[in-house]
Amino acid sequence: HKTAALRLAGVRAVYRALEDLLPGSSPFNGIPERLEKKLKGNSKKRLTALDKSELRAVLSWAAAKHTPEAMTGHALVFFLATSGLRANEAASLTWRNIELIDGTYYAIGIGKGNKPFEQELYPDAVGAARAAFKATVGRKPQDDDALFLTTLRTPMPYHTLWKRIKDLGAAAREEG
């Protein structure tokens, strides 16, 4: 929906520019208010990315905690920030999808649009994910295990992944 709204915004801008030359030529003139709201897209506040110092602060705060939840939160933030993977891609990974090839870790899976991906991973982020898994389950991960688990030891869906990160940020902010 957001992509369609952005594309239509570009088309509308072209017609606005043409309106001076050809008044009344825009197909966007006179559209119903309900459709107008849809075309404007989501009016929610835009979220901003963490800057480097904020990212370091959250990672340092979570690394200082030694609970399975904090370790998983640290691993999630570290993994996503250094890999560039989408939350859904990271949430769908199992340890079988993490390969060590010539000393470099790669995540191999299926991403958005059912397209295969192969993404290089930062070794310390893989180590953090492994340590969080071991703290949660009490053993080393096996190939069929999900990379990230909930507190109930089930694969973490991407919406839970984002909630966990949001909660981690809120806790870090609250404690300073």
Q: pLDDT tens digits, residue range 20-54?
A: 777 777 777 777 777 777 666 655 666 677 788 88
Q: pLDDT tens digits, residue range 120-149?
A: 999 999 999 999 999 999 999 999 999 999
Q: Helices 68-83 and 158-175, interaxial angle, to 10°?
A: 110
- Residue 98 pLDDT level (bands cut at 50, 70, 90): very high
Helix (H) or strand (E) run with residue 34 in it: helix 33-40
Report the pLDDT averaged over residues 163-172. Answer: 88
The CA-based angle 29-31-34, given to 5 degrees, is 145
- The confidence score (pLDDT) of residue 83 equals 93
Report the pLDDT averaged over residues 66-72. Answer: 91
Residues near 70 by Cβ (< 8 Å), separated by ≥ 6?
62, 168
pLDDT above 90 as % of the chain: 49
In this structure, what is the dihedral angle of CA atoms 96, 156, 154, 127, given to the nearest 10 degrees?
50
Q: Whole-model pTM?
A: 0.71
- The confidence score (pLDDT) of residue 151 equals 83
Number of Cβ within a 10 Å radius of residue 74:
24
